[in-house]
Structure 1
């Protein structure tokens, strides 16, 4: 039976000793002797010291490696962020051509892609803005230039017949009306683009709305001997802003009249179901080239600039129509063939969302 065990350091050596008492079998309290067993455990301690040193070394290397990994990881993360910040500052200062190089497929790469898409969008908006300002300037300068020429003729010419006075004043009045139309269209478009326009939604009889438009535009059609044909198989009531929808549909019908040759026709058709109403405007006009159909809803865009100005167009009517229909959560599509005519289809929900 083992009574005790201990380790001691003696003469620079590590020794482990164990003492066992020898007892009388008849009287266990009587100790007959003690057996002591000792063993040198220097090798064990040397091994433990070696293991400890290795553990300390591994801990040091691990700490160093962890520090290096943390440094490189933070660098990998912060470097793209710094590059992004530099690019943001460049864009803020007006450099819309700034792009970030996309590397990998991680979150930063996705952020870089989004940033590049944003700058492309901003660049397109800036181009549109510059084009818009240029077009507005041109549209306003053209009638002003005509007015200036006419007034100078009246001022500096002597002995002008009264008939010529009347003709010049009639031309001036026409140019003033044109200026007024451009300004009103611009104001309407700016309001629609600002998304600050509130729709005055009310139950509206679509049939009555179309009939009122046709009654107003019939004199314009009669001047060109153009037939206005109205088709509808049922009464249709929709929840819309009557004033704005009237303007949108009027623009389509008026364009159909302007660009249809004498003796042609413009057809307006209403169809509906329980969910949607469809207004179709078809003319037998000059048509629109395929490559231009995707751009006709852009502001100031004209397929035939000379003809548009001769007919009094501002290039804003279809853009106003498009924005109005979108505000009603609807859609507008066009199909056209040159020399045959065009068809515009407006879709709007029966119930306003």
Structure 2
């Protein structure tokens, strides 16, 4: 039998999706599964974006430009300028989701066996992108006791070596919901300038900052023009996960030129999705105000209910729509599978994302889970009650 590549064998499974077969089996048994495991918002996509596709009169669905349509990139640039991020359309490459943008970044700035430092826990697919690019992830640990704040600068500097190419952050964070402050971004800026590294920021949750806090982009830092690269997406901002449109943004012309070669290899981003995404940029601020208010209420309800459970520790998110919780168990993977295979309450159970898959350091996160609070408050209350009852029953 022909053999699978070593790279293919080493590609990590998604901790978010690997339990799907067990969830499907539970549903086939008549169990209602409440999904806390995936960041698929239930907020409606802006009507203006959907109408732009429905009402379009295209007769030939042709390739778009490799870097994305000129009108869309110009409008993206104006969006950033409103956020006090001074870029032009020439600094932007439209990609098939933020995922492709990150893949292009890794391919453009790092060679095989080069290293990228990432605070953990981090979005699990960073491991997959790194593996595909042959890049080594070097984790620096952030802790639930500190609400997953930026680890001390000294911890980053200990890890910087001749193969280090970049520091990668997600801000606000998936899976932690932590929002890095202006001061923390400033510390990272100082490190990358001192050691001549790239600073890559996944800013797809930029709009979701709570309690009056402001998101501070790495491209708002002076002196980072050659160092800073933003990865962005319409998926969460406009509840358009299925559009698969993102972008790479940087003032570094060499990175743009190099990433464009990777983009040319896949020809172009999808045309209809760009049309929808371009229209979505006209979404009024009132949409975001209502969405943020809803997510704050959901977060507050979730944390209040989780803190009622004996032995549970919760980090309080300041952005995005994820929450990390530490449970009084030894193995969250076994617990998550058991919830789907063997437990139900009044014909219902919950699906969670075990947190070990969000860490690169073996053994960390074994008793933690990530919860996406993308459900209505009533469902969140019900889900946490199911978790509470399950924890009383689970024997590990």
TM-score by length of structure 1 reads: 0.22
Name the structure with the higher strand share.
1
TM-score by length of structure 2 reads: 0.20
Name the structure with the higher helix share.
1
- Higher RCO structure, 1 or 2 (CA under 8 Å, sep 6+): 2
